[in-house]
């Protein structure tokens, strides 16, 4: 019941900005958008989250469209260590009433020299 | 600060055997999660604990899976008996309402289970 759609793979040159798109056209007004990444053989790592406004932290920027139906994660200066699977996630309220993250299959980003 | 610790990192068993995974969350984190990750897929939530109470176990296959979090700290996930389809990575995560307001989950490295 993932609510997001992402391209399966993307390439980026080292030092350039990586722009990872995500569609979440069925998102509800109070559901947050999260981004996590997973480097090979490691657990997922939190990157950033947002509701309506654009957000920026030391790792990345999150741009959410005004209608909230899509968003873009921006890694401003990609390095080789940014090669990973990036998950765009909508946090939903489960059947028990508690919030939960529903991961999709993500985008495999390959950063090359 | 130590991260989420899981053991073992790898486990190979024969089908119908029992297996257990252990997780030690980040100190002070009251919320603990167990996820299942199949190859090429994103993690799927199995169970969520608030302190020692399992508040969401709707995705846990209760016929063969069980979990506990005694004293609201460490947690164990058990499968008995294991089936071939249980081969996957089992991830543990924890979070706290302080700091980022519970928005950030911290994941362990996972236990890779292979059932032969």
Q: Which residue of A has its CA nearest to B3?
A: A43
> Which chain B residues contact residue A4 at CB under 8 A?
none
Name the nearest CA neighbour of B26 among B111, B112, B115, B102. B102
**How close is the nearest chain A Cα to the Cα of B35, in Å?**
10
| A78 vs B100: CA distance, rounded Å | 25
Contact B60, B68 (CB under 8 A): no
Measured between CA atoms, the residue of chain B closest to residue A8 is: B40
Q: What pLDDT digit, counting tens, does each position of B20-75 carry?
A: 999 999 999 999 999 999 999 999 999 999 999 999 998 999 999 999 998 889 99
Q: Which residues lie closer than 8 Å to A80 by C-beta, 6 or more apart?
A: A14, A111, A112, A113
Q: Is B41 helix (H, G, I), strand (E, B) or coil?
A: coil
User: Alpha-carbon distance A81 to A70, whole Å?
Assistant: 26
H helices of chain A, where?
A: none
Residue by residue, pLDDT tens for chain A (113 residues) are 558 999 999 999 999 999 999 999 988 888 899 999 999 999 999 999 999 989 999 999 999 999 999 999 999 999 999 999 999 999 888 777 788 898 988 999 999 99
B37 phi/psi in degrees, rounded to 5 = -130, 110
């Amino acid at each position: 019941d993932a609510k997001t759609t992402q391209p399966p793979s993307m390439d980026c040159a080292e030092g350039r900005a990586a722009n990872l798109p995500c569609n979440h056209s069925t998102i509800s007004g109070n559901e947050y958008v999260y981004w996590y990444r997973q480097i090979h053989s490691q657990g997922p790592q939190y990157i950033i989250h947002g509701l309506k406004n654009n957000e920026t932290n030391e790792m990345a920027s999150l741009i959410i469209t005004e209608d909230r139906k899509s968003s873009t994660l921006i890694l401003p200066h990609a390095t080789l260590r940014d090669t990973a699977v990036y998950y765009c996630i909508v946090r939903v309220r489960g059947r028990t009433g508690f919030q939960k993250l529903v991961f999709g299959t993500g985008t495999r980003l390959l950063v090359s020299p | 600060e130590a991260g989420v610790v899981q053991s073992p990192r790898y486990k190979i068993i024969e089908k119908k055997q029992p297996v257990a995974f252990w997780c030690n969350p980040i100190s002070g984190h009251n919320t603990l999660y167990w996820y299942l990750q199949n190859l090429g897929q994103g993690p799927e939530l199995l169970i969520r604990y608030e302190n020692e109470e399992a508040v969401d176990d709707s995705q846990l296959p209760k016929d063969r899976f069980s979990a506990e979090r005694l004293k609201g700290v460490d947690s164990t996930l058990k499968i008995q008996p294991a089936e071939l389809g249980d081969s996957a990575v089992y991830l543990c995560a924890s979070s706290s309402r302080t700091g980022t307001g519970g928005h950030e989950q911290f994941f362990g490295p996972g236990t890779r289970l292979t059932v032969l």
